[in-house]
Chain A
Amino acid sequence: MAIELKMPALSPTMEEGTLAKWLVKEGDEVSAGDVLAEIETDKATMEFESIDEGVVGKILVAEGSENVQVGTVIAILAGEGEDVSDASPVASPEPAAGEEATAPAESAPAAAEKPTAKERPADPEIPAGTNMATLTVREALRDAMAEEMRLDERVFVMGEEVAEYQGAYKVTQGLLEEFGPKRVIDTPITEYGFAGIGTGAAMGGLRPIVEFMTFNFAMQAIDHIINSAAKTNYMSGGQMRCPVVFRGPNGAASRVAAQHSQNYASWYAHVPGLVVIAPYDSSDAKGLLKAAIRSEDPVIFLENELIYGNSFEVAQLDDHVLPIGKARIMREGADVTIVSYSIGVKFALEAAEELAGEGIDAEVIDLRTLRPLDTATVLESLAKTNRLVVAEEGWPTCSIASEIIALCMEEGFDHLDAPVLRVCNEDVPLPYAANLEKMALIDAPRIVAAAKKVCYKD
């Protein structure tokens, strides 16, 4: 059996090379391991060894040939007694003159159909006559954790000051008392360590809720969140799940300066393999945290210290769980769409109220989930109002706002009557000084101004 010897790839990126020198000639007997030729790439000269034994039947590419494509047959190795003297390469990548040039089938990348986003369920109907309770966001979050802990033994909470101190921001109030120290665990101040332990526990089949005192400190732990939690399912071909929830306050608080005031939404939303949720009101906080705890995926759950104490109505259902990945229309309107999330929704609603007074009917969308984004809801609204503003309590560059603008360009261009504007924080580290801090952060008047601008009414 004649064996074709092909130009080898000597590195993962090599596409062609120079056949510098043959170390054998036709008729030589070779055995496995013998060096047949020297091949030069742009990086190095390498020896090309035989992996078979036989007789060098015919050399098809002469030494000194440059730009020999990887895969080209360069010689034929004959078996015992075979004559291959008039052999020619079977499929030369260099097409002969006159032949139609066709790309070799294997070099064409396999075209894969990108999965289309699935239709996401709407929020479940609240049956008529359901009792509504007024809860703070803080209480709603606590209730979500407590309910899930009652339902599922695997759920536990860990973080700094979550147990005996009742939470640095009192979100875990009462949990230690109800569930005991096995399931409500105070950690030392070692974010990298306990984020890793939480991630590992999730891999081991538990359902950890890891609280970061604030997301500023999750920077110590971000390697585990991204390299360990987000990628493992993919890298293991879907074998190793990581159903962990990382939660805590995110974004600016009040007068705590640059290192304690940052919105990490776009950082995490950038990463495939993570789910990122940032609710605004108590109902969403509760319903989405419950969904996050039940999710098989790692979830980043971004809260906001400044709205922990705000009260909203929550339906008193046995199981108030909301769909991840679904935006919520907070206020319907016809003239302009304001897209926001987290505390931005508060300012957007204030702005809509103000705009209504000036005869502009604004629709307000709370994204709620930032990855995966509910693009359909945004685009439908844009198709209706033809004008859009994004309000985000965070820096403008490479933000969620940038992402929404890209979406409107790519998929909503025909519906746009004005450029999409973003209203974000000033592009500076957050200053401590009261007057400068106020200037740096978004507020309703800035959203009003942008909305008027896209309506050409300023």
Chain B
Amino acid sequence: MRSLQERFEKSKRYKASEEELLAFYEKMLLIRRFEEKAGQLYGLGLIGGFCHLYIGQEAVAVGLQSALEEGKDSVITGYRDHGHMLAYGIDPKVIMAELTGRAAGISRGKGGSMHMFSTEHAFYGGHGIVGAQVPLGAGLAFAHQYNEDGGLCMAYFGDGAANQGQVYETFNMAALWNLPIVFIVENNQYAMGTSVKRSSAETEFYRRGTAFRIPGMDVNGMDVLEVHQAARVAVEHVRGGNGPVLMELNTYRYRGHSMSDPAKYRTREEVQGVREKSDPIEMAKAELIKAGIDEDKLKEIDKDIRAVVAEAADFAENSPELEPHELYTDVLVENY
């Protein structure tokens, strides 16, 4: 049960080339700026309903999904899904247009923040019911196995979701059937206002597969190189036909649970402390500077990303709403 952890601990951080590190950095920065913009648009009333931001957790999706084959390996997650899509290279414009509920949105405006999908990128959503994505992910893995397409599924869920019973039913079947799946607990320490220790008898989530003989890995989710290294170990294991892996990614969300969160359950100092000490983007930036990259180059990247995000926001604000008849389309596929 500890074999993968041991392998991972032998060399915990991925030795990225400058080019690779730069790519990680850019993706994480894109997610951060995108989410900041989404927060602004929400404040302006352009985005409605629930909107869960990924700020603080960027290294998780970027570090993990960079170890996958985009479009072949499937990814599924909950409602906090913008970052996973951006990490998989999906166009920010159609994501933002979904947030504003426009026809050009990735779900044609019908799903909103929590329900986005791109079968083209093998990104399967975008699910609003806490925990539901876990058996769905195992189903995707089942299909990979059935079709012998060599793909695997990465199924993300939160520390709160980890207490849903269906998660354990899924662990059992995934292990029993040797499914190609990597279970990812994104432990951002809170489920809405409930801290992990107030909800969980076993707070070391990576151990929770033990009863099903699923090896666990305990990973610092604030360090993109560590995340990526761990992902490589896990993916290699799963691709080798050895069945599921359970990874716990320790991370932190800086913003409220969704846009309407009184945030009384934690102190400002706690949030500030994490931001200052272990921000994933700052860490990658420092690394790049240490490697001798030109600071002007970083400034330029930031500028470019801001432009991409501004363009996405513009597109999302100005693209047309849906035609009224769209209310009735997509309910069923066929006509009866």
- B212 CB contacts on chain A under 8 angstroms: none
Contacting residues, chain B, for A193 (C-beta < 8 A): 165
State whether A432 and B163 are in contact (beta carbons under 8 Å apart), knowing that A257-B49, A259-B129 are contacts in the complex. Answer: no
Chain B 291-322 interface residues, beta-carbon cutoff 8 Å to A: 321-322
Distance (Å) between the CB of A235 and the closest chain B CB? Answer: 24
Query: Interface residues of A toward B: which range?
Result: 35 or more
Let me know if B193 and A436 touch, CB within 8 A.
no
Which of B113, B129, B331 has its CB near the most chain A CB atoms (within 10 A)? B129
| B49 / chain A contacts, CB cutoff of 8 Å | 253-257, 260, 432
Is A257 a contact of B114 with CB atoms below 8 Å?
Answer: yes
Is A190 a contact of B324 with CB atoms below 8 Å? no
B-contact bits for A423-442, CB 8 A (1 contact / 0 none): 00011110111111001100
Shortest CB-to-CB span from B188 to chain A, Å, is 14
Tell which of A76-84, A160-168, A314-322 binds the partner: A160-168
Given contacts A190-B163, A440-B327, contact A432 B129 (CB under 8 A): no
In the complex, whether A48 has a CB less than 8 A from a CB of chain B is: no
Q: Which of B15-73 contact A (CB under 8 A)?
A: 48-50
State which of B163, B165, B192, B326 has its C-beta within 8 Å of the C-beta of A436. B326
- Contact across chains for B110 and A432 when beta carbons are under 8 A apart: yes
Contact of A259 (CB < 8 Å), options: B128, B200, B262 = B128
CB neighbours (8 Å) of B111 from chain A are 257-258, 432
Complex CA distance for A164 and B50, rounded to whole angstroms? 21
Known: A160-B194, A188-B200, A428-B328. A436 touches B109 (CB 8 A): yes
Q: Name the CB-closest residue of A to B161.
A: A189
**In the assembled complex, which residues on chain A have CB atoms less than 8 Å from the CB atom of B264?**
165
Q: Identify B109's interface contact among A160, A186, A433, CB under 8 A.
A: A433
Report B189-219 residues with CB < 8 Å from chain A CB: 191-194, 198-200
Say yes or no: is B115 at the interface (Cβ < 8 Å to chain A).
yes
Knowing A190-B163, A434-B101, say if A161 contacts B194 (CB, 8 Å).
yes
Asked if A192 CB lies within 8 Å of chain B CBs, one says: yes
Q: Name B81-124 residues within 8 Å CB distance of A.
A: 98, 101-103, 105, 107, 109-115
Q: In the complex, are the beta carbons of A431 and B109 less than 8 A apart?
A: yes
The answer to whether B129 and A168 have CB atoms under 8 Å apart is no
A249 vs chain B, min Cβ distance (A): 14
Please, which residues of chain B bring their CB within 8 A of the CB of A259?
114-115, 127-129
Residue in A closest to B193 when the chains form the complex, CB atoms: A165
A189 contacts which of B107, B109, B131 (Cβ < 8 Å)? B131
- Picked from A164, A187, A253, the residue with its CB within 8 Å of the CB of B193 is A164
A431 to B321, CA, bound (A): 12
Residues of A within 8 Å of B131, CB to CB, are 189, 220
Across-interface contacts of B233 in A (CB, < 8 A): none
**Is A304's CB within 8 Å of the partner chain B?**
no
A187 to B165, CA, bound (A): 13
Question: Chain A's nearest CB lies how many Å from the CB of B271?
Answer: 17
Residues A165 and B265 in contact, CB atoms below 8 Å apart: yes
Within 8 A of B (CB), among A398-429: 426-429
Chain A CB count within 10 A is highest, among B98, B109, B112, B115, for: B112
CB–CB A168/B112 < 8 A: no
| Chain A contact surface mostly | loop
Contact residues in B for A168 (Cβ distance below 8 Å): 192
B130 at the interface (CB under 8 A from A): yes
Query: CB-CB < 8 A to B107: which residues of A?
Result: 432
**Interface assignment of B164: CB less than 8 Å from any CB of chain A:** yes
Whether the pair A160, B192 counts as a contact (CB closer than 8 A) is: yes
A436 in contact with B128 (CB, 8 Å): no
Q: Nearest Cβ distance between residue A313 and chain B, in whole angstroms?
A: 28
Quote the shortest CB–CB distance from B258 to chain A (angstroms).
10
Interface centre among B102, B128, B198, B264 (most CB of A within 10 A): B128
Interface pair A258/B115, CB less than 8 Å apart = yes
CA distance A411 to B164 in the complex (A): 46
How near does chain B come to A49, taking the closest CB pair, in angstroms? 43
Report if A217 contacts B (CB, 8 A): yes
Q: Could you say which residues of chain A place their CB within 8 Å of the CB of B103?
A: 433
B160 within 8 A of A: yes
A435 B322 Cβ-Cβ under 8 A: yes
Q: Please, how many angstroms separate the alpha-carbon atoms of A433 and B321 in the complex?
A: 8
17 extra A-B contacts, CB within 8 A, seeds A254-B49, A258-B110: A160-B194, A165-B192, A187-B199, A189-B131, A220-B129, A220-B166, A255-B112, A257-B110, A259-B115, A428-B331, A432-B107, A432-B115, A433-B102, A433-B105, A436-B109, A436-B327, A439-B324
Where the two chains meet, the residues of A that have a C-beta atom closer than 8 Å to any C-beta of B are: 160-161, 164-165, 168, 186-190, 192-193, 216-217, 219-220, 253-260, 426-429, 431-436, 439-440
Q: Can you list 30 A-B pairs with a CB-CB distance of less than 8 A?
A: A165-B194, A186-B194, A188-B160, A188-B191, A188-B199, A189-B160, A189-B161, A216-B128, A217-B129, A217-B130, A220-B129, A220-B131, A255-B101, A257-B111, A258-B111, A259-B115, A259-B129, A260-B114, A428-B327, A428-B328, A429-B331, A431-B110, A431-B327, A432-B49, A433-B322, A435-B322, A435-B324, A436-B101, A436-B322, A436-B327
